[in-house]
Structure 1
Amino acid sequence: MGSSHSYHVQGRRRSRTIPSTGLRTVVVHDLEALRPHFDSWRRLALEAPQKLATLLPAWVDAGFRHGPEPGEYWFCCFVYLAERLVGVVPVIAGPHSVLGRSRPVLRTCDRHVTMDRILLAPDQAGPALRALLEAVDREVPSHLGIDLMAVRSNSPLWAALEEGLEGYVVRRGARYMNSFLDVSGDFDSFLTTAGKMRTNLKRYRRKLDGMGHVSVEIRKGDEADVGFLDEFLALEASGWKGRLGTAILNNENSLAYHTTLVRNFAAEGGLEWYGIRVDDHLVAARLGIRCGSALMLPKVAFDENFAMCRPGTLVTAEALKDAFSRPEIDEINHMSFAEAHRYWHMPQDAYTNVHLVRANALPVLFQLSRVVSRSIYRDYVRPNIPEALKEAHRRFRRRGDRKPQRAAESRPAPDREKDGGIP
């Protein structure tokens, strides 16, 4: 890979120009060196067909600050055509499980979110990808490969891969189906396609109204500040995630990551909060993050004392109803698939891991073999595991306090006059 290049080092910033293509690559290793690229980076992300907030520098910044595991490091590659940014790949480098740090494996996700991160201008996808991989190769010449995690089905990467890559074996890995919803119509019409949801929402709301005075909060723009995060985190930790130890508050690194994420998007006006209160007590909340015409809803929390009222469903309904009413929003993306999404009859889109393995003996032996073995398990072994065994495993994972309380299991809401309110 590569031809003659001009090469400049400026502190922790490396820049190369590729005369044959007119492309210029820049590699940075520190947060301050990222900032000059933010405006162009944000514009390119907002124009991307994936419509994913994980492509935005505000999200990648949080991943770089708090996403690498111990012993890992990050760098970020940019490619410009003249002054126009046409490609970005954020990279975290970690030691191979057998060969260690001398032969690292690279990936495009952090420890907190596995989601599409490679950003390519559609009209320059092939040349930009090749230039980015050349920059990666020069930066870490001993790497075994790079894992492009959870690439959405409409990413320009797929067209770039069809043009072929020199020096890499391309292998598709795990495929995920995540829920999304077209909100370009109106909410009432949507409910006619969502089975019994309209009737259920009315029933849940009547139950909640019986618990006290109900109010709905929607915070956007300047009103969506970092302050609401404390309430959200306390609410999340009060339920099954807190009991299991997987709530954000249970992990110092996760808390730092999500605090930075919320602060970053609040600073640029992309943060939104949706909440429902009963007598001023927060019983359900959703975190929202804007990316152009799409709204991400990555986190939800609710008070299990109100489970019989389905507060999580009610706050989701408020978020969806609000999105349908806004002409600037055309897609809701949950960044996941959950059982509850089926009740809303939400469609799904495919996200696929792409493994680029260096095409020489050592990477093929130690990295490609691992990728292939995982594929064999995923495609042939797992589908043939008896359903009874799968169900037994699910019951084990959800035993005792490891699952959310359902309506039949929930305790009556506290008597506010007797208890003096819920802290």
Structure 2
Amino acid sequence: MSGLQKLEGKDIRANRFREGLSAPEFRAVLHPVAEMDANLIEAWSELARQAREPNIFYEQWFLRPALDQFDHHPELRLFLLWAGEPGHSQLLGLLPIGPDNRFGRWPVPHVQNWMHHNCFLGTPLVRKGSEQVFWEQLLTALDLSAWPGFLHINGMTIGGPLDQALRVVCGDQKRRCDLVHSEARALLQSDLASEAYYEATVRTKKRKDLRRQAKRLSEQGDVTYAHHIDAMGLDQWLDEFLQLEKAGWKGENGSALDCTPETSAFFRQAVAGAAAAGQLERRDIRLDGKPLAMLVNFLSSDGGFGFKTAFDEEYSRFSPGVLLQIDNLKFLDQPVIDWIDSCAAQDHPMIDSIWSDRRHIGRFSIELKGMSRRAVFRGVRLGEALMGKIRGRAIFDPTEVQQ
């Protein structure tokens, strides 16, 4: 019987009790992704509302459609940390995790949190105050499992509470935890109102050009800006979004959501789930009723995530996508929202010129117990260090600058 089989359906009990938790024993479970009942979904949703770091990509209304539509390893599991009896106590943490046979271009088996092409953040969902015990119990579970290699956490916020807790736990356990890649992406966060932020961030010449483009666009017909926070007309809106995205360069290179039935179904299900949870926001610009630019934002706790944007490339001379992002700055006028993550690639030519703050996202590799695992980890890290020197690449760790 494998280590995974020994753990599956059972729990790992911790003898330690942290102040503020509702039971003296934590229970960690590697839960099959195909087995989700109503109790788990309810506990999962409640955990998301209390998460130390919001991450809509691991909320149940987003992750479940992804698991249904996209391929994943047959041994993929939900790591669940319960405050007491599984299914009958508070859920303290959740992370989709499983084995992977490749590490980048190398055929190196390891364990990794599950992400897909439309998942832009891999930070675990962890209840406030449970950050350290989450990592302690996850590492214990993986040490006891038969999964090979090391642990790789992809797409986690650098410098956040989960990163800090991971480094503390690994330091206490004399376990190597290396930041192996980092990138910075645009973040909208400011105490300024939207108009003041726009004037402070965007150059005067650029603002003048955009005013001219907006005026020229208005001369083409009736231009309207719309903001939706409910599900009214959602099916038709999604049809229009998918058609608009597919008509552009993403459709030409096969990366538009509507290019495959799996990504199209996933998108519809995830957006509908966000709407049902009250976590959807969408905006559009229309010319005589025809959509020129559309975007989808997801909300969670005090933050937001810019998920998808599409615009009509036939009207690119008017910059409808940029004009819509300027309208999107109205997030700053919402008192309940403190920030919004663009989820855009580093050095994005459009959003980086409008949003001045940056969010650092990284990949972490962590040692697991066992001589063979340690050897694999150190061999991979040596190889990465050599490749970094050859290519002249340095990994930026913003936590070192803060110190």
Same fold (TM > 0.5): yes
Secondary structure, counterpart of 2:367 in structure 1? strand
Residue 123 of structure 2 corresponds to residue 117 of structure 1: yes
| Alpha-carbon distance, 1:350 to partner | 1.0
> Is the contact made by 2:186 and 2:352 (CA closer than 8 Å) also made in structure 1?
no
- The corresponding residue for 1:401 is none
Q: Is structure 2 residue 322 aligned with structure 1 residue 326?
A: no
The CA RMSD measured in Å over matched residues stands at 2.9
1:356 paired residue among 339, 353, 366: 366
**Structure 2 residue identity aligned to 1:54:** F
Partner of 1:58: 61
List aligned pairs for 1:14-413, cutoff 5 A: 14-21=10-17, 22-33=25-36, 35-69=38-72, 71-82=73-84, 83-96=89-102, 104-112=109-117, 113-138=119-144, 140-152=145-157, 153-164=159-170, 166=173, 168-194=175-201, 195-196=203-204, 197-223=206-232, 225-321=234-330, 323-336=331-344, 337=346, 338-378=348-388, 381-383=391-393
Partner amino acid for 1:120?
Answer: V
Distance 1:114 1:52 in 2: 9
Deviation, 1:176, is: 1.4
Which residue identity does 1:290 align to in structure 2? Answer: L
The amino acid across from 1:17 in the alignment is: R
Counterpart AA for 1:349: R
Q: Is contact 1:64-1:110 (8 Å) kept?
A: no
Higher relative contact order (CA 8 A, sep 6+): 2
Deviation at residue 166 of structure 1 after TM alignment: 4.4
Q: 1:176 to 1:246 in 2, by over 3 A?
A: same
| Cα contact 2:210–2:323 (8 A) shared by 1 | yes
- 1:337-376 per-residue CA deviation (whole Å, 9 max, x = no partner) reads 3111232142102111111232434334444423442344
CA shift at 1:184, angstroms? 4.3
Q: Give the AA of the match of 2:267.
A: H
Return the alpha-carbon distance in structure 2 between the equivalents of residues 33 and 352 of structure 1.
30
In 1, Cα distance between the equivalents of 2:35 and 2:287? 44
Aligned-partner SS, 1:48: coil
Q: CA deviation at 1:95?
A: 2.5
Q: Percent identity?
A: 17
**CA distance, structure 2, for counterparts of residue 345 and residue 110 of structure 1:** 26
Question: Residues of 2 paired with 1:211 and 1:370: CA distance?
Answer: 58
* Matched AA of 1:222: A
Whether the 8 Å contact between 1:92 and 1:110 is mirrored in structure 2 is no
Structure 2 unaligned blocks of 5 or more: 18-24, 395-403
**Structure 2 Cα separation of the partners of residues 247 and 142 of structure 1:** 35
Q: Which stretches of structure 1, 4 residues or more, deviate above 4 A after TM superposition?
A: 96-100, 165-168
When residues 320 and 345 of structure 1 are mapped into structure 2, their CA distance, relative to the original with a 3 A threshold, is closer
For 1:136-159, what per-residue CA distance to the aligned partner results, in whole angstroms no more than 9, with x for missing partners? Answer: 444x42321221112112132322
Structure having the larger proportion of residues in strand = 1
Distance change (3 Å), C-alpha of 1:345 and 1:157: closer
Residues 146/265 of structure 1: CA separation in 2 closer, same or farther (3 Å cut): same
Q: 1:211 to 1:13 in 2, by over 3 A?
A: farther
* Structure-2 change in CA distance of 1:261 and 1:155 (3 Å): farther
Paired amino acid for 1:360: G
Shift of 1:96: 4.4
Letter in 2 for 1:109: W
| 1:265-302 deviation line (CA, Å, top 9, x unaligned) | 12212122211111111111111111122121121111
| Partner Cα separation in structure 1 for residue 387 and residue 327 of structure 2 | 41
User: Does the aligned pair in 1 maintain the 2:136–2:169 contact within 8 Å?
Assistant: no
Assess, with a 3 A threshold, how the Cα gap between structure 1 residues 255 and 34 changes in structure 2: closer, same or farther.
same
Where does structure 1 lack aligned partners over 5 or more consecutive residues?
1-6, 385-423
Change (3 A) 1:30 1:360: closer
Q: Deviations over 1:191-250 (max 9, x none)?
A: 221223543332221121122211112111233734422211111111111112221222
Q: Hey, what's the Cα distance between the residues in 1 that align with 2:375 and 2:74?
A: 23
The aligned amino acid for 1:106 is: V
- Paired residues in the alignment total 371
TM-score for the superposition, normalised by structure 2: 0.82
